[in-house]
Amino acid sequence: MTAPSPRPRSARQSDVARIAGVSQSAVSRVISGDAARIPAETRRRIHDAIAELGYVPNPVARNLRGARTRLLGVHTFEPLFPNAREGFYVEFLLGIEQRAEETGHDLVLFSSTGDGAGGRRIYRDETNRLRIADGSVLLGVSPDRAELARLWHEGYPFIHIGRRDVPGAPIPCVIPDYSGAAAGIVERLHGLGHRRLAYLRDSIDVEPYEDRRAGYADAVTRLGVVDRSPGFVSGTAGVPDEVVSALADGTCTAAVAESERVAAELRARLTDRGVRIPEDVSVAVLEDTSAADVGWDDLRIPRQEIGRIAVERLIDMVSDPAAPRESTYVACEAMPGETVAGVREDRR
């Protein structure tokens, strides 16, 4: 038996109708359940004809009438599984897929680049590629905010995972609450007796880091803790010498690092000076370091849950275009590790 080629044009409702001796609309009604006034006998004839022809509705044509496609888009601004961040997007996707499955949606992964260069774009030769889907989840760092603004103005339903600020276009996001998590970590250090902290910033200036800084700053002020970083909000990136010295001599008793990269650098510098973590100095990281598995006190981003929530919100937007489009915050758990301890007795 050989493959049926050249593929015969698939049967359509009109073919079924001809065989069953009814009109195309009768077929349509029977198929789409609106068969209230079609008697069993006719229905049977139609079903027989369907079986005979192996008729299968064309979903594309169905959708044309303005019905929903029940497709949800997933647009990542970088390849879905960049090696550098293995497991990063995938975890969000896991939650997205779960919720999509539960709500009877399929997903469209927008993997095509657009035009070879310039990264993944939403608009390709003036057309919004996302439009096949009823709405889309966006994730990753967009290289081009104007695109997001345009998308928003178009009224297309979408939700962004992670905070993204675009002037003039308050795009709805699902946001890990880095600010609250940072505050929580400061509180924890405070509870352990730490009163003089240092903040280590990375050189990245995107929204999520701003959130961390804000949360840290608030908590420091609120608890009356002293921050000794060299002007952490506008300050230097990386691990300045002053901070290493301050931690070594007890001027500071704990450090809060924005990213694992900075934390690792700090650890190296402290080890050089013979300073131990956590015996001498406590270090917490404001990032999910579970992949590295080195025991940092850090925070956990509930990626799966965030994915689920994003789909949830997206479906709301799709089903009610007039619904409010606000951002949602999702709490991050502070994860105790092996790098935070009570303050050293002689340094209280």
Partner DNA sequence: CGTCGGTGCTCATACGAATGAGCACCGAAC
Partner DNA sequence: GTTCGGTGCTCATTCGTATGAGCACCGACG
Which window, 75-83, 254-262, 279-287, 333-341, contacts a second copy (CB under 8 A)? 75-83
Q: How many residues touch DNA (CB under 7 A)?
A: 29
From residue 20 to residue 39, the character string flagging contacts with a second copy as x (rule: CB under 8 A) and all else as - is -----------x--------
By CB under 7 A, residue 41 contacts DNA: yes
Under 8 Å CB-to-CB from 27, ≥6 apart: which residues? Answer: 13, 14, 16, 17, 20, 46
Whole-angstrom distance, CA of residue 260 vs CA of residue 265: 9
Told to check if 57 binds a second copy by CB under 8 A, we report yes
Binding segment for a second copy (CB under 8 A), chosen from 79-87, 198-206, 235-243, 276-284, is 79-87
Is residue 10 part of the contact set for a second copy (CB under 8 A)?
A: yes
- Find the binder of DNA among 65, 84, 279, 293 (CB under 7 A): 65
Cβ-based nearer residue to DNA, 45 or 300: 45
CB of 42 to a second copy, least distance (A): 17
Among a second copy, DNA, none, the one that 303 touches (CB under a kind-dependent 5 to 8 A) is none
Residue 42 near DNA by CB under 7 A: yes
Q: Is 25 in the site for DNA (CB under 7 A)?
A: yes
Residue number with CB closer to a second copy (34 or 106): 106
Sign of CA dihedral 218, 222, 223, 227: positive
The 82-101 site mask, x for binding a second copy (CB under 8 A), equals --------x--xx--xx-xx
Q: Does 231 bind a second copy (CB under 8 A)?
A: no
In the complex, least distance from residue 53 CB atom to a second copy, rounded to whole angstroms: 10
Residue pair 200/256 in contact (Cβ under 8 Å)? The answer is yes
Site membership for DNA, residue 80 (CB under 7 A): no
Contact between 34 and DNA by CB under 7 A: the answer reads yes
Q: Which residues bind DNA (CB under 7 A)?
A: 9-10, 12-14, 21-26, 28-29, 31-32, 34, 37-39, 41-42, 57-58, 61-62, 64-67
Q: Which residues bind a second copy (CB under 8 A)?
A: 1, 3-8, 10, 31, 50, 54, 56-61, 63-64, 69-71, 79-81, 90, 93-94, 97-98, 100-101, 104-113, 123, 126-129, 131-132, 150, 152-155, 168-170, 321-325
